[in-house]
Chain A
Amino acid sequence: MTTERPYAGLKKLLATRRLTLTQRKKLWAYIFVALPFAYFLIVNISAMLNSFIFSFQDYMTISTERTWIGLDNYTSTLSNPIFHQALRNTLVFAAVRVPVVTVLGLGVALMLHNIRRAKGFFRMLYFIPFVTSGVAIAWVFKFLYLPNFGLFTHLFDALGLPRQYFLGDPRTALLSIIAVTIWASLGYYALIFLAGLEDIPVEFYEAAMVDGASAWQRFRNITLPLLNRTIVLVVILCMISSLQNFTFVRMMSKDGFGGPLNSTVTMSLLIYKEAFFSLRMGGASAIAVIFFAIIFVLTLVQRRLLVREFEY
């Protein structure tokens, strides 16, 4: 508990002339960052280290006994085809979802920005899915996807398209789930875009109009460059949530564990299943560590790029 006195004493100490400005700044930096950093160390990093240790152990989740088994968990994970499938699905998830959300979100935001009446009403409409619980959404869409009675089937019939099994077919199951996650989060990302759009001075557009720029030229030369930072933000947020997706694959995949034929199994789902249903905490930890390492390297590679673009 912070009290008035030590804080004042600290301030006095730091203000003494013995410390240069730079040194003082450094000290303050450490003080400010100490609590958050300690929190992450205790809550997240130590938990991850736990997993790291478990990954070298034979540890049945509901047992109190653990034995060291070296790299066995890693070799069995790497040779497990479901692991590779999960990795592929997770990457497909991100690769499909991120661009679609970005483009659609921007499109919706542009329209929400351009219309002149009933803005609030439409914003509300698009935001509704984001505040609704995933369980309810998943259930509703399972019914919409029913291959014989579902709304989508009627839609396909009306358009003369062949009927689909959607969630029941390994070729379409993952895409069907990705579509729902896009639907559910579109409004949130559109809202972020909308805020970015509100911020572009109208004068820019007016000047462009005077010069006779077409709508496309205005979008290409004014909106897009000035929205760069927002786009990067959306891409990063969407990427993280795509890599961590769990609720919808758990609720919507045919057997709850990534079926049919593992076509919808993702990393978090596989880890969850291994740890709490197959009761192999050691194996689940190995998967988590490998997945962590892969994402970490990907982020390292991307980071410079992202940071540079962010600070234009």
Chain B
Amino acid sequence: MRKAILCILALLLTGAMLVGPGVAAQDDEKVTIEFWQHESGGKIQAMASVIEGFNELYPDIEVIQSSFPYEEYQTKIAASVPAGTGPDVAMIYFGWAPLWAKSGFIAPLPAEVQDVLVTEFAPFVESTKLKGEHYAVPTSIRNFALVYNVNLLAEAGWDTPPDTWDEFVQAAKDCTKYDDAGNITQAGYYLEWGGDGWNWWRPLIEAYGGQVFSEDYKTALWNEGGALDAWNYMLDFTQVHKTSIPGFYEGELEAFAAGLTCMTPQLTFAVGFLRDNAAPEVEWAVAVMPEGPAGRITTGSSWPLALTTKALEDEAKLDAATKFLLYMASAEGQERYNDITGELPSRMDMVELPKYAEDPIMAPFIAQLEQTTGTFWADELAERQCALDMYDAVTVGGMDPLEALNMGTECDQAVRDAFFADW
């Protein structure tokens, strides 16, 4: 019996010894900074390439790169903060910046980095500018353009993609196919509200002359003026035009890649996905977003790098992190990153390079960079929830559209009020 106890203890010890802590012995000469990111496609390799380039310039700074699945990224960071083991530089979603800044997890960028952002970068960087200070260095910039299936649209009588939002509806209707029982077998435009739909609904509000939020970001204006038209426009796809049903497929991009839909507004990164995953028979192309009564407007998103407050505690680390962020903001860093992910750099001087500007797939994205607005999110997750609920309330809950829109706007207003109450 004592053997049993000893056996267990021995097992425990073996387990403990089998594995030393996975940290390599540290060189005293070197400054080490921790960089965390979430995993997706080529981002890990892209950042590895950035770090490699950085080390050619600064061999004395070691950047430890760790990556975690997107779904658990925040959990991982949350656990690391009280333990004091987190990153010095972290890749964040631009929509998280306000809340993360408010919690004191990320700090304003050093002045020299901010200067570069102000002079060299696309206007989109304003979305991570809080109280007059920039908080994040974009890696790439993503904005919406219209991705369409050339053959399916041609079959439906559209040799060129729709150029206005009214034409878009017509094209979607023409391109939708039904079976004998009236079920959709091919969707002209498949709208997944919680996927991309609600994301391009916001620039649509502006294209219809409305405003998503007030100038000071404090008020939600989803149910005023042109915003009402945009809301009805979005709802009509499933309610009136029947070009799609909710949950038509598992994701809009996937449905498009499978050749089941004719058109889908997509962010820049979809290009990489489609190159790898589109079905062989799907011949696709990209056009600028259609135009609305008030113009052609699109929105963007990005996964920029931010400095954490942890890095501020140590001068050497802060200095190293500043150098790293400056390198990321340089033409070389931007190029290394985007060569691997196949996206667009967010420096305005770089998008004019022939390799981007003359690429027929990239050109429509670049053409819209100047009109790409960012959204200031007080609490992206909560505000998304408000938008999702108001859409579901109409489409599966049977609520009156206007009543639902008012409900959603109030819901979002409450989130904004809570955020700005102590900001």
Q: List the interface of chain A (C-beta within 8 A of B).
A: 1-2, 4, 7, 60-65, 142-143, 146-149, 157, 163, 165-170, 254-257, 259-262, 272-273, 275-279, 281
Q: Are B78 and A168 in contact (CB under 8 A)?
A: no
Q: Are A63 and B105 in contact (CB under 8 A)?
A: yes
How far is it, in angstroms, between the C-alpha of A242 and the C-alpha of B183 when the chains are bound? Answer: 36
Q: Which of A64, A260, A279 contacts B396 (CB 8 A)?
A: A260
**B392 interface residue, CB < 8 Å from A?**
yes
Q: Are A149 and B249 in contact (CB under 8 A)?
A: yes
Q: Knowing that A257-B385, A259-B194 are A-B contacts, what are 9 other residue pairs whose CB atoms are under 8 Å apart, sorted by A's residue number? A: A2-B9, A4-B2, A62-B100, A63-B103, A63-B104, A146-B248, A146-B249, A170-B397, A261-B397
Q: Which of A2, A60, A165 contacts B247 (CB 8 A)?
A: A165
Q: List the interface of chain B (C-beta within 8 A of A).
A: 2, 5-6, 9, 71, 74-75, 77-78, 81-82, 99-100, 102-105, 181, 183-185, 194, 245-250, 379, 381-382, 385, 388-389, 392-393, 396-397
User: Please, which residues of chain B bring their CB within 8 A of the CB of A275?
Assistant: 78
Asked if A146 meets B250 with Cβ closer than 8 Å, knowing A2-B9, A63-B105, A165-B396, the reply is yes
* Interface class of chain A by DSSP: loop
In the complex, number of A-B residue pairs with CB atoms less than 8 Å apart: 95
- In the A-B complex, the 4 residue pairs with the smallest Cβ-Cβ separation, listed nearest first, are A168-B247, A63-B103, A60-B103, A62-B105
A-B contact pairs, 30 of them (CB 8 A): A1-B9, A2-B6, A60-B104, A61-B74, A61-B81, A61-B103, A63-B103, A64-B81, A64-B82, A142-B250, A148-B185, A148-B245, A148-B249, A157-B181, A165-B245, A165-B247, A166-B247, A167-B247, A254-B194, A254-B247, A255-B385, A256-B71, A257-B385, A260-B392, A261-B392, A261-B393, A261-B397, A278-B381, A279-B74, A279-B99
User: Please, which residues of chain A bring their CB within 8 A of the CB of B248?
Assistant: 146-148
Q: Which of A63, A262, A276 contacts B75 (CB 8 A)?
A: A276
User: Please, which residues of chain A bring their CB within 8 A of the CB of B245?
Assistant: 147-148, 165
Q: Are A255 and B388 in contact (CB under 8 A)?
A: yes
User: Please, which residues of chain A bring their CB within 8 A of the CB of B249?
Assistant: 146, 148-149
How far is it, in angstroms, between the C-alpha of A312 and the C-alpha of B194 when the chains are bound? Answer: 53
User: Please, which residues of chain B bring their CB within 8 A of the CB of A4?
Assistant: 2
Q: Are B183 and A148 in contact (CB under 8 A)?
A: yes
How far is it, in angstroms, between the C-alpha of A163 and the C-alpha of B184 when the chains are bound? Answer: 12
Q: Are A168 and B246 in contact (CB under 8 A)?
A: yes
Q: Are B99 and A63 in contact (CB under 8 A)?
A: no
User: Please, which residues of chain A bring their CB within 8 A of the CB of B100?
Assistant: 62
Q: Are A63 and B81 in contact (CB under 8 A)?
A: yes
Give B255 Cβ to nearest chain A Cβ, in Å.
10
Cβ-closest chain B residue relative to A165:
B247
How far is it, in angstroms, between the C-alpha of A62 and the C-alpha of B77 when the chains are bound? Answer: 7
Cβ-closest chain A residue relative to B390:
A261
How far is it, in angstroms, between the C-alpha of A262 and the C-alpha of B411 when the chains are bound? Answer: 15
User: Please, which residues of chain A bring their CB within 8 A of the CB of B388?
Assistant: 255, 259-260
Give A275 Cβ to nearest chain B Cβ, in Å.
7
Q: Are A62 and B103 in contact (CB under 8 A)?
A: yes
Cβ-closest chain A residue relative to B392:
A260
How far is it, in angstroms, between the C-alpha of A261 and the C-alpha of B397 when the chains are bound? Answer: 8
Listed residue (B74, B250, B392) with the most chain A CB atoms within 10 angstroms of its CB: B392
User: Please, which residues of chain B bring their CB within 8 A of the CB of A272?
Assistant: 75
User: Please, which residues of chain A bring their CB within 8 A of the CB of B103?
Assistant: 60-63, 279
User: Please, which residues of chain A bring their CB within 8 A of the CB of B77?
Assistant: 62
User: Please, which residues of chain B bring their CB within 8 A of the CB of A166?
Assistant: 247
User: Please, which residues of chain A bring their CB within 8 A of the CB of B393?
Assistant: 261
User: Please, which residues of chain B bring their CB within 8 A of the CB of A149?
Assistant: 249
Q: Are A278 and B183 in contact (CB under 8 A)?
A: no
Cβ-closest chain B residue relative to A66:
B82
Give B319 Cβ to nearest chain A Cβ, in Å.
23
How far is it, in angstroms, between the C-alpha of A53 and the C-alpha of B71 when the chains are bound? Answer: 27
